[in-house]
Copies of this chain bind each other. A is one copy, B any other.
């Protein structure tokens, strides 16, 4: 469908560019350039130039980039519709924190549903969304176009929940457990394990 394949390394930097451009738009800045962006973000100048050329290709020599156009080019890489729809699985502390997360409101991610397996929680409303039973997820995803599922359940249930999401045709998973999830390679998984992150930091400061 889209044949412009973006390297992993570039994908890692895209949110950085998006946040940066959003700030420029807030300040009503019209134009920018690879040089300026690279300085402000602490990246290599050529790296930024290559990234932007790949992402947009609308740079003008001597001029640079129109901020709004560039922002739109980034946006179209991320979604072809207005919102990316997400669901949260697991209405515990982490799930709750995510549902309330201060960044959602002005983002293009829309929380469609929260699911849990604890009957005491079903029916409760969290951040304007009613908690449903996990067994409803497949039915739910038939009527709602769910793009990403966020797994915030205890590790023992992680793979089982993951399988349910994949079975519901959800193609993106954000995994907050420390379990290495087993999925088809057409499903995109990213992991946020706090202990793993702390461990990596500990290694780096321990070996300075």
- A residues lining the B interface (CB < 8 Å): 1-2, 4-6, 11-12, 14-16, 18-19, 41-42, 77-80, 84, 86, 93-94, 96-98, 100-104, 107, 109, 147-148, 154-155, 171-174, 178, 180, 186, 188, 190, 192-208
A84, B208: Cβ atoms under 8 Å? no
Nearest-neighbor residue (CB-CB) of A187 within chain B: B205
Our pick among B148, B199, B207 for the contact of A18 (Cβ within 8 Å) is B199
Q: Which of B96, B148, B192, B207 makes the CB contact (< 8 A) with A93? A: B96
Q: Which of A97, A171, A198, A208 has the most CB of B within 10 A?
A: A198
The 19 listed contacts between A and B (C-beta, < 8 Å) are A2-B206, A2-B207, A14-B199, A14-B203, A15-B199, A18-B199, A19-B196, A79-B206, A80-B206, A84-B202, A93-B101, A94-B97, A109-B195, A147-B202, A148-B198, A148-B202, A173-B201, A190-B197, A190-B200
List, in ascending order, chain B residues with CB within 8 A of A2's CB: 206-207
Tell me which residues across on chain B come within 8 A of A192, comparing CB atoms: 192, 197
Shortest beta-carbon distance, A180 to chain B, in Å? 7
Interface centre among A4, A96, A172, A206 (most CB of B within 10 A): A206
Instruction: List 10 additional contacts besides A172-B201, A192-B192; criterion CB under 8 Å.
Output: A1-B208, A4-B207, A6-B203, A41-B180, A78-B199, A78-B202, A79-B206, A84-B198, A96-B97, A103-B193
In the complex, the chain B residue whose C-beta lies closest to that of A188 is B204
Nearest B residue to A86, CB-CB: B198
